[in-house]
Every structure is written in C-alpha cells, then in structure tokens.
Structure 1
C-alpha cells in the first residue's frame, strides 16, 4: 500500500497533513502549527513510526530556526492519530482525560501487529490483514499522554492562540476539537470523516456515539465560525461540507431508530442500509456495523462496553457478504 502525506498550508502558520489515498482504514489526517519565533505543535500523529518520521521530515523545514515540535495535541485515542508520536519522545502529549480510558481499552501497537499478522485464515483476520497489513508497528512503542484536561483548555503555540474543546462521547469517549480562532481553522479529528463530490471518502466508523453526540460535535464546529475544517479522514471541508456531513448523520440516526423500532438487530440494520445504497459513493460500507452497534447500545440503554473483537468479526462478515454480491 503506497501512502503519501501532503503537508499543505491552509492559513498563516497552519498546515494540514492530508494522507493520500484519502479513503481507507488508518489513513488519518493531522496538522502542524508553526510559531514564527518558537516551538511548533502537531495536531495528531500518523499510524506508525515510518509515517511519523516522514511527517517529521516534512515538518522540519517549516519550523522557525532552531525550533522543534514540543507538543502533540491528540484529538482522540485511536492509534492512527497517536502512535506515530513516538518519533517525538520528549514532546508534551495533550488530550482529554477520557481518552486515557480509551487508550487502555484499545490494543497497543504490538498487540495489534500480533492480531493482524497472526497467519490465521479466518475471515476476520483476512479482513484485518487486507486493510491494516501495510502499516508497520514493529518498532512502534506505546505513546502515553503527559497532560490531560476536562472541558476546555487554552494554549498558545508561540503567538498563535489554540483552543481545545472536549466534545466526546462522539467518535470515541474522549474526542476533542482544535480551534484556531485567528486563522478560522478547526481540526475535527474523527468527529468528521469527510467526503466531497471531487474526492469521495468512506462511511464513518464510530465506536462510542450516540449519533446525536456526533451531530452536536459537528454543530459545535460550525459554531466556532471556522471556514476551513480538517477532518480526521478525507479531504478538507468548508462549512457547507460540514453541513452535508450533518445531513448524512441525521439520515443515519433516523434509519437506526426506525430499524431498531422494527426489531432488526444492528447487523441486520447494517445489511438493510447497505442494500438501500443511499450513499453509494462512500467506501467501507461494512463499517455501518460498528456505528449502528454503538447507536443500538444507546437506544437499549446499555452502558457496558462491547467486545470489540465481536463487533469487528461482524463487520468483516458483512464486508465479505458485500464483496460476494459484487
């Protein structure tokens, strides 16, 4: 799998790291905030050390003379936004308190590598190898946040004000957004999986929910007044792009409630939505299993976290079903 990272200027002192291809598991976006006279900051890190080193190499020429990257702001605890920060061992890692619990819940790099490369031939392992086998976690050490907060936190990267706001539970239990008010930019993390007519993306995959919380987080992004939104995956968005994503989320919430009320399981609901093909341009349709399972837990009033392997197994099953259908 060929993975490129383009570090593009989007505002004064602000760069977006956009991963191409823009669709697929683990191909996350991020950003670089550069002070004219001091240290810089990353917003999120790539999935493995190799990609982290490439991002660092692209970032270094953009820094002030003698400056380094002292801070990594992590929008949530999934490895594809965190693990590449291992190339900055002395950097401060900032995230929400709730993200600590998510990191403890998720497999670490060595554990995920063992699962993906186990050599087993069952459908789940074959699915994971297909989509994650191109990443290299052999020398990727776990990364631990060094500073956490609840609610909101104001920072400065040199002369640039940065406002962090916790918006979870949404994609995960501990999501945050990064607002740069002077540049009118928001880094949305995986609150938004972006798609446009010019560059289609994938169906979002949301592990926490409810969908209403994700909708509110998107509205919070619009309420900042930002003009440029960097999603966790996919192309850059303007405000109309966020509104289009809200339309998708509202559709998903309405259909989930209707199918839950009709007695369908989350898996059956995912099959039904896949068959409806309301958004045929979006890839990884099987990820509806994850998001709908999360939504069903809220509709059922369940508070206990599910077995992630069971959910992934169901997702892989739907993927092979859809592939067989052509």
Structure 2
C-alpha cells in the first residue's frame, strides 16, 4: 500500500496495529485491548484526515497509483459482458481512449473513457491517458453507433489533457474535440459522464458533455492543472497548492457552481482503499441516473442538454 504525504499518520498507526497483532500471535501476551485502542484511533484518524482534505490533497488522491482506472470500472461493473471496439475508421486505434458495449444488470450501455497505465510499459502504451485526435474520433464513432441502436452512453473521464504533440495538432486535435462537443449536444440518447480521476482541459471536455455529469468525491475538473496554472502565473510549480485552491476544481466547488449534477461519495481513504465497494457505488449511481433519463424523448434530451450548457456561467444583473 502506497501512502501520500498527508496519509503518513495513518501509515504509522497501521504499522503499530500490525506489530501489536504479530506480538499477540507470537507470544502468550494478551494484546487484544491494545489492538482495539489502536484500531479505534486509526478509524478516527482516517475520518479526521479524509473529511478535511484541501484542494491539492484531493488532486493527489485523484492521481494515486492504486486508484482504479476506466477499464477497472468497466470490467468489474460489466463482469464478462464488455466487448471492446477499436479504431476511428480513418487513421488508427488510440490506446489512450477505449470504448465498447457492456451491460449493467440487464441494461446495455456504450462505455467510453480515457485509460491510463499502471506501470512504465503500460503508461507508454496508453500514452499516459492523453488521447490523440483519432481517440476522440473513435469515441464519436461509438457514440453515433450507440445512437443508431438507441443505447445510452457512459463516459469515464480520467485524463491530464489531450495529447499536445505536433503530430496530434497536424491531425486536427482541436477540431476533433470541438466536433465531439458539438455532436454530443445533439446526441439523441442519454449521456452519463462520470469523472473518476483527473478531468483536465479539452481532453476531458471531448467526452464530457452529458445529460448528467457525476464526480467522484476525490477527483478534479478544471480548464488547467494546478501545476500548469502555477507555472504560467508564477513561472514555477512551487505554487501548485495555491493554484489548486484558486481554480475551484474539487467536486464540492463544481457542485456549488452548478457545473456538475452529483457528487459520488468514495469509501473513506479514497476509491483505491476499497475498490470493490467503489465499483458498486459507481454502478448504482449510473443505474439511478439512467432511471431519471430513460423516459425522456430524444427531443427532450437534446433540448434539456442544450439548456443546461447554455445556462452555465450566466450572470443576472440586479
């Protein structure tokens, strides 16, 4: 188990608890009371730390190396029903953007999302979750396929941004993202967006337009990362914590600004601390959200979706 800097008090208590248990097993000394006291202290410390996280600490949790990624959610939510689909039918198959058909219980969905890697080799293979234009075009192709067969769309957002390389710009990165945003406003099936990690810039918006946008508790959603914001304003990454607070990028901030629709609570300690529980929570949230949307006609879906995004950022003068 890897611990972040602010989690070190938890690590110390966890180690003390394990040591006490080992002493009890290897000797005739009764340490049950000690173990109970440490366990109680551990629970209280976890609650105290995770209920009072600042913006930068939530950013760190969203990037935790043990945090589940898109394929983890899909494979565990859909069990054995997921069928991955490949290619944009134009240039190639982007490994940073995955998509395909799957079922939650008896309901079919088209799942789309950015996929990161879990070690050096897979991170390079997945391009660190940064999609090229063909990734966004593949996502749009799958959305159009879902629309044709009246299948709702679920998008998992987890990216540090769209790939900024020269070759991506040459193939029309900006156009691909803009096209997706436009087409998603017009899609005649329900779209549910779930931010499961990092939601950065146009890379997130390229699959981020939905009838309902859900954010897991320890994720962030912003036009720019705290580090990049700090480097632009202060010419240094040293002010990333200040930038994180100023950007108002947490789930609570997004909800208060009415830019998302719902915050999905995570187990204490973050999504990685109890992955099975997290999968169940997200699966339930998707099904509940679909129940709210399934009886709306295609015309109503499009109309309400456009109203929702046109209304963002509106100011009323008194």
TM more than 0.5: no
- State TM-score, norm by structure 1: 0.28
Pick the structure with more helix per residue: 2
Pick the structure with more strand per residue: 1
